[in-house]
Amino acid sequence: MSMESYTLQPKRIKEGRLFRGLTQESLADAISVTKQAVSQYETGVLTPNLEVITRIADVLDFPQQYFSKPYQNEILTPVFFRKRKTTTKKLMELFQIYIGWMADIYAYIEQYIHLPELSLPTNERVGYTRKEISNIAKSLRRHWGLGDGPISNLTLLLENNGILVSKVGLDAKKADACSVFFTAPGTAKRPMIFLTSGTSPVRSRRDLAHELGHQVLHSWMDKDQFEEHQDIIEEEAETFASYFLMPEQAMQRESYAVKSLDALLLMKARWGASAQSILYHLAGIDCITESTATRLKTSLYRKGWRTKEPGDDNIPQERPELIKDAVTVIVENNVKSSVEILSDIPMPAEDVAALCGVQKDFFLPPKAVRPSLRLVK
């Protein structure tokens, strides 16, 4: 490959460096150039020669073609972060990289697979009352034909209604989840939700419902509106999560028996929500008395349930399946091999496999095996 046929995208170098957790100085040392040179590569002031590009690709363990990959997708909304105040700049940058990658994967898959159409009513205002949010959550449940019972698998529900979900290996203590509305050339606009791995099943469901709330309530916002109303919209998304996962009418029917933590654990198993979130929701909608709520909150805190509750391991961990199934169908039907897919959307093989939810060697070439020999009879 010659430089004449290679159009460098300078920002891709920065993406690769950030993704691998390197500073400009550490990358410079690894590829035997100055820190200033790396800075100029990333801003486009200086173009590295092919030898340097090869060294960068080797050090970062990225396909060389990644650094010439054009940007084609458009982010239509601000990125909603579940823990924006504790999400570091580094984590935000990593999430942005994942968003770009998933948008590319989605655009590629849509060339070969009919994914579920988006079915998501949205609203365009700010400053909802709790009653309004309750009605919006109820309306969405009705739209999706859910009734007011427990949702057995929230992840599959969202995927079946055209929402992309992915899990990424980031620090769940500092950032639980994020979501965004995006579009790619030749594709319909879609919401995309990222969850961090390592959280409990009930926490993941809560995060997913929270991000769904942002897409239903706030996807019309631009960056300025988002910044202006940041605190309000986080509270609104959290309120939506409660009403969507635990409809008010159903809670009214079942709350009569909530007199102890054991009763909350039974509801936890049924509704796939933490005992703490159920307790706060019941108190917030006046399904239990203030004295009962205070007594149960005190007991819950004394037992240390704020960080880990009994029964977490008995609730199955939901996993995204849509993108995994799509790439598998493409490969199994000989439309493209896994190696060809990775060549078409050049990204680090194991990291993309994790993003798609497939085995980490899915996009790697098959290992060479020794030939089978047998004696001549």
pLDDT digits (tens, 9 = 90+) for 338-347: 999 999 999 9
* Residue 125, domain member (yes or no): yes
Q: What is the mean pLDDT of residues 329-338?
A: 96
- pLDDT for res 257: 81
The pLDDT confidence band at residue 10, using thresholds 50, 70 and 90, is very high
One domain for residues 57 and 152? no
52-83 confidence digits (pLDDT tens): 999 999 999 999 999 999 887 777 667 787 66
The pLDDT confidence band at residue 377, using thresholds 50, 70 and 90, is confident
* Residue 173, domain member (yes or no): yes
- CA 140/CA 157 separation, integer angstroms: 12
- pLDDT for res 174: 64
Residue 107 C-beta-side C-alpha neighbours within 13 Å: 18
* Residue 365, domain member (yes or no): no
Range of the domain at 42: 3-71
194-238 confidence digits (pLDDT tens): 998 778 899 999 999 999 999 999 988 887 888 788 889 999 999
- pLDDT for res 339: 95
- pLDDT for res 1: 52
The share of the chain scoring above pLDDT 70, in percent, equals: 94
Q: What is the mean pLDDT of residues 303-327?
A: 92
Of residues 154 and 104, more confidently modeled: 154
The count of domains in the chain is: 3
One domain for residues 307 and 327? no
- pLDDT for res 81: 77
The pLDDT confidence band at residue 92, using thresholds 50, 70 and 90, is confident
- Is the pLDDT at 117 greater than 60, yes or no? yes
- Is the pLDDT at 323 greater than 90, yes or no? yes
One domain for residues 93 and 140? yes
- Is the pLDDT at 85 greater than 70, yes or no? no
One domain for residues 349 and 232? yes
SS (H, E, C) the chain: CCHHHCCCCHHHHHHHHHHCCCCHHHHHHHHCCCHHHHHHHHHCCCCCCHHHHHHHHHHHCCCHHHHHCCCCCEECCCCEECCCCCCCHHHHHHHHHHHHHHHHHHHHHCCCCCCCCCCCCCCCCCCCCHHHHHHHHHHHHHHCCCCCCCCCCHHHHHHHCCCEEEEECCCCCCCCEEEEEEECCCCCCEEEEEEECCCCHHHHHHHHHHHHHHHHHCCCCCHHHHHHCHHHHHHHHHHHHHHHHCCHHHHHHHHHHCCCHHHHHHHHHHHCCCHHHHHHHHHHCCCCCHHHHHHHHHHHHHCCCCCCCCCHHHCCCCCCCHHHHHHHHHHHCCCCCHHHHHHHCCCCHHHHHHHHCCCCCCCCCCCCCCCCCCCCC
One domain for residues 173 and 207? yes
One domain for residues 88 and 150? yes
Q: What is the mean pLDDT of residues 265-294?
A: 95
Of residues 265 and 91, more confidently modeled: 265
One domain for residues 220 and 128? yes
- CA 45/CA 292 separation, integer angstroms: 65
- Is the pLDDT at 48 greater than 70, yes or no? yes
Contact 243, 140 (CB under 8 A): no
Mean pLDDT of the chain: 90
- pLDDT for res 239: 97
One domain for residues 112 and 230? yes
- pLDDT for res 185: 67
The pLDDT confidence band at residue 175, using thresholds 50, 70 and 90, is low
One domain for residues 120 and 193? yes
* Residue 367, domain member (yes or no): no
One domain for residues 113 and 190? yes
- pLDDT for res 43: 95
- Is the pLDDT at 2 greater than 60, yes or no? no
* Residue 136, domain member (yes or no): yes
- pLDDT for res 84: 62
**CATH assignment of the domain containing 27:** 1.10.260.40
Q: What is the mean pLDDT of residues 264-292?
A: 95
What long-range pairs does 255-261 form, CB within 8 A, spacing at least 24? Answer: 255/282, 255/287, 255/288, 258/282, 258/287, 258/288, 258/292, 258/296, 259/292, 260/296, 261/296, 261/299, 261/300, 261/303, 261/305
Of residues 85 and 98, more confidently modeled: 98
- Is the pLDDT at 137 greater than 70, yes or no? yes
One domain for residues 278 and 331? no
**CATH assignment of the domain containing 100:** 1.10.10.2910
Rg of the chain in Å (alpha carbons): 24
Q: What is the mean pLDDT of residues 251-273?
A: 93
* Residue 355, domain member (yes or no): yes
- pLDDT for res 125: 82
Q: Which class for 376: exposed (0-12), middle (13-18), buried (19 or more C-beta within 10 A)? A: exposed
